[in-house]
Amino acid sequence: MTTYHAHPIDPTALKELRSVDDAGRRMVPVTDEEGGAPLRCCLRRSAVGERIALVSYAPLRRWAAGNGNDPGAYDEQGPVFVHAQECAGPDGDGLPFTNAHRTVRRYSADGHILGGRLVPEHGEFEAAFREAFDDAAVAVVHVRAVEYGCFLYEVRRA
């Protein structure tokens, strides 16, 4: 059985986003007064009192550019929470944020969407990834929140 791993935002991209995000805005750090924000830098929820920022991130654009491609009309950017300063990253290799309905979107090597699947709360993520990567045309999978459509993390071929 293949095990799939969630990949946080790349450290180089994080450094850039902490300066100027993918919408061209400067980062505005805040102290998290409530906790619970889904952090894309370390794939965990924020704790009360942590310094975080909401930045605009274009995951497919960055992934496609790194592979010499242009996602064209599939390029999109959206809000993600990150620590305001560098952090240690994920402390495990499990699948985070599985406590709600999620969408698993499949993309080709040229950055075009190939479809998606709804995974219910505490659902069969491993099966959704296996199904996605059984298609040889799938190069990367994005896991997104259903409620807001926010990017949570990516999964690549094992």
Comparing C-alpha atoms, which of 154, 147, 146, 79 is closest to residue 111? 154
> Computed over its alpha carbons, how large is the radius of gyration of the chain?
15
Q: What's the mean pLDDT in 80-86?
A: 97
Question: Tens digits of per-residue pLDDT, 13-71?
Answer: 999 999 999 999 999 999 999 999 999 999 999 999 999 999 999 999 998 888 898 88
Secondary structure class of 55 (helix, strand, coil): strand
Question: Tens digits of per-residue pLDDT, 1-10?
Answer: 577 899 999 9
State the greatest distance between any 2 C-alpha atoms of the chain, in Å, as a whole number: 45
pTM of the model: 0.91
